[in-house]
Chains A and B, each alone.
Chain A
Amino acid sequence: MSTVENSMLESQPPSSFRLKAGLFPLTLLEVQGLDRQSFERELQLKVAEAPAFFQQTPVILSFDADARGDMSLAELVELCRTQGLVPVVLRGGSEELQQQALQQGLALMPEGRSRAAKAEPEPSPAEDVPEPAAPAAEDEPSAPVPGGGGNRVITTPIRSGQQVYAAGGDLIVLSSVSAGAEVLADGNIHVYGPLRGRALAGVRGDTGARIFCQSLEAELISIAGDFQLSDDLRGKLWKQPVQICLSDQKLTVEPLA
């Protein structure tokens, strides 16, 4: 990377920023039709199904070659924003579309990256949540596989009534999960605050998934569909740092040493 080399030539590295290669999971919004009204209605319905998932979620826009309708890219971006989706990149698209994208402050990304695997049957608690798309990164990444790349990091408390799902990866929560909130992941769940709500790891059936938390106060814990309610969990390890895994098809709670 030339930027890095330049800064190494000068004896002092920049103190105001660092450049790092990142590999982040992003949701891909494939636009199949540009009829404004039906798009708006359908997007609203989709968002209503899992509001927490769409909280300021960055998305990549891509357009089906035969998407028809009267909506401009600007209108589409605006619609997405009001629903909590934040378009950041346009993938592919005609020259005209790319021009419009630049005006909207979107970045451009060439077509032909590895496509995300087609959706498998979704787990019931978060049906139809979009799959994570190809990570936006410098290097050619492999498409995320369950338990692999689609990790999500949440830095603020997840509050009662909210639901957050990490499709295709781990969910890492740096704050608390309130009673009445629900966190789901295809992979592991890490909660670096108290876990007071419901936590469901391995929701697509990964029996090797685990749940880690700083303080076990959960309403429900589930791994690959095997679950326990808070009454079963209120033992010696209640309010303690623990990990939970499936061994011999039984949920086991162990102290985090």
Chain B
Amino acid sequence: MAKIIVVTSGKGGVGKTTTSAAISSGLALRGHKTAVIDFDIGLRNLDIIMNCERRVVYDFVNVINNEATLKQALIKDKRVDNLFILPASQTRDKDALSSEGVERVLNELADDGFEYIICDSPAGIEHGAFMALYFADMAIVVANPEVSSVRDSDRILGILQSKSRRAEKGERVEECLLITRYNPERVAKGEMLGVTDVEEILATKLLAVIPESESVLKASNQGVPVIHDKESKAGQAYDDAVARLLGEERDHRFVEVEHKGLFQRLFGRK
């Protein structure tokens, strides 16, 4: 059985695509056959972060409209076996995503033996975001530690548990929270919400806290999902997230302000 996971947020620019790229790569690195679908029709950028934009011939909408087969449109990742990207169309608009079409593509992926299907949602709560979450078994709700982002996440959680296919069947969508662009120093100064504040407001399970990190920007410029960067804290935090998704217990790191020890101060290493 394929598990369909939507990465969603409501608010834009919080780190959904970064998260979709990292989590899908992480799952595939651990041997799970994984597909990641860009639902952001018209604004595609998953393929850029995954460094395959030059190999896009057919896209998600082509498959939905039967202009190409799923096999033709899926792009195999160059770095990780078991990872496939279904890019968004740049020219269509979001209404091109019909519910029947999306369902057909998801079913076909499941029949092809994909274990995880990651749906990278567009921002907002309009049709595209709705299509991305409608079929989900699980949602990773991405939030930045600030009030407006948290409010939007709350809203999305409400929609998820009332409007998704599972909700219609009287079931719950498994939900978890991923806080990203977290900066413990700024939290300590009271400029950002802390992890416990966010958890308390959203009353849902915490999957991971990803620190604000320059390595993310570097990674997306190079087209290498940040989880491949073993040195970076963001990469390590995403690796923890994937481990937790697969049932491992791991402590949350990078949540407290680091007090540099004497040794570190003397030698100036981060």
Contacts and interface: CB of A to CB of B under 8 A. Distances in A.
Given A84-B162, A159-B155, A160-B155, A56 B203 contact: no
B203 A176 contact: yes
A69 interface: no
A130 to B, nearest CB: 17
Q: Sorted from nearest, which 7 A-B pairs have the closest CB atoms?
A: A159-B158, A160-B154, A160-B155, A162-B158, A161-B155, A178-B154, A55-B162
A161 B153 CA distance: 11
A55 B154 contact: no
A56 B170 contact: yes
Nearest to A156: B161
Interface string B128-153: 00000000000000000000000110
A34 to B, nearest CB: 22
A56 B154 contact: no
A93 interface: no
Given A86-B170, A179-B151, A161 B159 contact: yes
* Majority SS at the chain A contact face: loop
B162 A82 contact: no
B151 A160 contact: yes
A36 interface: no
Interface of A: 51-52, 55-56, 81-82, 84, 86, 156-162, 175-176, 178-181, 193-194, 196
B168 interface: yes
B154 A159 contact: yes
Give the interface SS of chain B, mostly helix, strand, loop or mixed.
helix
A84 B168 contact: yes
Given A82-B168, A179-B151, 14 more contacts: A51-B163, A52-B162, A55-B161, A56-B170, A84-B162, A156-B161, A158-B158, A159-B155, A160-B151, A160-B152, A160-B154, A161-B155, A162-B158, A180-B151
Contacts of A175: 203
Contacts of A178: 154, 158, 201
B187 interface: no
B157 interface: yes
20 contacts: A51-B162, A51-B163, A52-B162, A55-B161, A82-B168, A84-B162, A156-B161, A156-B172, A159-B157, A159-B161, A161-B158, A161-B159, A175-B203, A176-B203, A178-B154, A178-B201, A179-B151, A180-B151, A180-B155, A196-B201
